[in-house]
């Protein structure tokens, strides 16, 4: 039994743990981002996401498996876009821009909440493996959320920034 414990002790689980944290952080950031797109569209008059069951924080409704695997391996991935029918908006260009902006803004708000959680954890810090793991998760998820929000603001299609830019362009452009 001692030989087994010695063998187990020499294994390096850090890479596995970091991948688990990355996948959990990705699930949280992507799910929150896509759900906020759907909620914004719904509040602006488009029930498409609601009808398709996409106004949920269930990650299985939003995550594209290939995109999640790419995120875990290459730190770059994607999600299933929330369906939006801009014809349901009173002002389609404005509605689409606000719906697109909801995702990146939600990621920045999520990062603030995560960092607040990290601050609270530090204030009550107990030097335990759980607290260290929690701080690691909160910080990495906040970092990813900010990155996802800022990346999506790039005005290149199909990113959210392109839909915001289109709202300011004339219709013929």
Which residues are designated catalytic? 34
Alpha helix ranges (H) inside 44-156: 48-51, 65-74, 92-123, 129-152
**CA distances from residue 156 to 29, 40, 151, 172 in whole angstroms, order as listed:** 21, 21, 10, 18
Cβ neighbours for 108, distance < 8 A, ≥ 6 positions apart: 145, 146, 149
Q: Cβ distance 153 to 161 under 8 Å?
A: yes
| Burial classification of residue 139, based on how many CB atoms lie within 10 Å of its CB (0-12 exposed, 13-18 middle, 19 or more buried) | middle
């Amino acid at each position: 039994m001692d030989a087994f414990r010695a063998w187990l002790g020499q294994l390096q689980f850090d890479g596995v743990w970091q991948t688990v944290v990355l996948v959990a952080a990705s699930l949280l950031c992507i799910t929150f981002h896509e759900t906020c797109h759907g909620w914004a569209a719904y509040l602006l008059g488009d029930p498409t996401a609601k009808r398709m069951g996409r106004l949920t924080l269930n990650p299985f409704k939003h995550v594209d498996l290939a995109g999640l695997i790419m995120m875990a391996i290459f730190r770059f991935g994607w999600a299933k876009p929330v369906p939006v029918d801009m014809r349901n908006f009173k002002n389609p260009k404005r509605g689409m821009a606000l719906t697109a902006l909801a995702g990146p803004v939600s990621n920045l708000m999520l990062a603030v909440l995560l960092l607040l959680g990290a601050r609270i954890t530090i204030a009550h810090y107990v030097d335990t493996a759980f607290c260290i793991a929690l701080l690691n998760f909160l910080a990495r998820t906040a970092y990813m959320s900010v990155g996802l929000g800022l990346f999506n603001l790039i005005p290149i299609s199909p990113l959210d920034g392109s839909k915001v830019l289109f709202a300011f362009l004339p219709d013929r452009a």
